[in-house]
Amino acid sequence: MARSLLSLALALPAVRAMNNGLARTPQMGWNTWNHFGCGINEDTILSAAQAVVSNNLTALGYEYILVDDCWQADARDASTGAPVADPSKFPNGIKDLADKVHDMGLKFGIYSSAGTSTCGGRFGSLGFEEIDAQTYASWGVDYLKYDNCYNEGRAGTPLISYERYNNMSRALNATGRPILYSMCNWGEDGPWNFAVDIANSWRISGDIYDNYDRYDSRCPCTDMLDCKLSGFHCAMTRIIDFAAPLLQKAGPGKWNDLDMLEIGNGGMTFDEYVTHFSMWALAKSPLILGNDVTSMDTDTLSIITNDAIIAVNQDPNGSPASQMWIHAVDGGGQLELWSGSLVNNQFVWAVMNTSPSNQTVNVSLLDIFTDQGAAFGSGTFTMYDLWQKDADGAWGAKVADVSGSMSVDVVTHGVRVFKAVPVSSSRRAAGEL
């Protein structure tokens, strides 16, 4: 019965958030939560916005400055019920803050929860969707991250979650202002099945934890397709595992969100952060920085500014990569092959090594191009290493023309990412044909 009701709900005339013209490629920006938590104020946001501009991150696509939880006052406006900002943290109000962010050429986002309270204990938006959406629009908000805490038990089936989150979707679209809608219900009730018509992105798992692969009982699920308690403290590679079977659900205007990036927060090694950034890009997850962008070392900057990897994420084809095989490694861990298509008959593929030792693997082109067929995979391809710079200092150095198979070395907890172009196409682009 519930399935029939959900099908009916999805068939009803409704504003389809995926068609609101936003997030045609995965959204990019910066969010306060991972590094600052509730310790935010107006200066925190403005300093970060200025750092995004001064580090030229805007040229790479980082455009949203997102204020997460704890911006709210102790209570709503007593007479109107409208949301109010904490006057000690934001003495000039949210509209003034949004205006200043806009003046820097950036877009501004805010946070609430589809519950009576936010996860940080501030007032939520459940039952206040219309006035909150109208207020956000009047403030100049361009983006809403919408959480799942204190939801009064209004979850447990896709239909119940759909209706609760669709209330805000309708309210946002009714404002007439384009507001990117980022659902954050931790994968509860399978949002990849019901959110595609009402949101621009949806979280697929519990909250990320700045760690490569540590098991944590607070992130108890091993399979997000059969997960009733998604939790938090989810290590980075756990989220990749959760994402693998879901990626075909995404596309332009509608993305699986693997959560915010931890690069620069100190919990992983350089190679682990390279894996983090690469796999989020291949999965077509939003790329939302979660570090202190006002104080970044050269390693952090080198990762988040790799324009060849960002181009994979922002490719207009909008096709996430797929996990093609998994090979167990002696001593623990595994090697994983991922492959996906890009525009202009180009492709991206990666080998990820979760084992505790360096590995060498021979990768068959027939495995890389399984979806394109044996005839295509039997061809010759020019390979570009997207984490190697060419003679001009640009990411994406040419490696070789390859047919049959290619030997790949991958350091422990590292990844190798390649762009593959059929030789005839690469030579034509170079003017050799």
Q: Would you name the residues annotated as active-site residues?
A: 147, 207
Closest residue by Cα to residue 377 from 385, 387, 369: 369
Pairwise CA distance, residues 205 & 185, whole Å? 8
Cβ–Cβ < 8 Å for 416, 361? no
DSSP assignment of 218-236? TS--S-GGG-S---S-B-H
Pairwise CA distance, residues 173 & 129, whole Å? 11
Q: Cβ contacts of residue 58 below 8 Å, gap of 6+?
A: 52, 105, 106
Cβ–Cβ < 8 Å for 49, 101? yes
Beta-strand ranges (E) seen in 251-379 are 255-257, 287-289, 322-328, 334-341, 347-353, 359-364
Closest residue by Cα to residue 151 from 167, 136, 135, 137: 167
Task: Describe the strand order of the beta sheet including 347-353 as a list of residue ranges.
Answer: 322-328, 334-341, 347-353, 415-422, 380-389, 395-403
The structure tokens 């403030």 sit at 139
Cβ–Cβ < 8 Å for 265, 210? yes
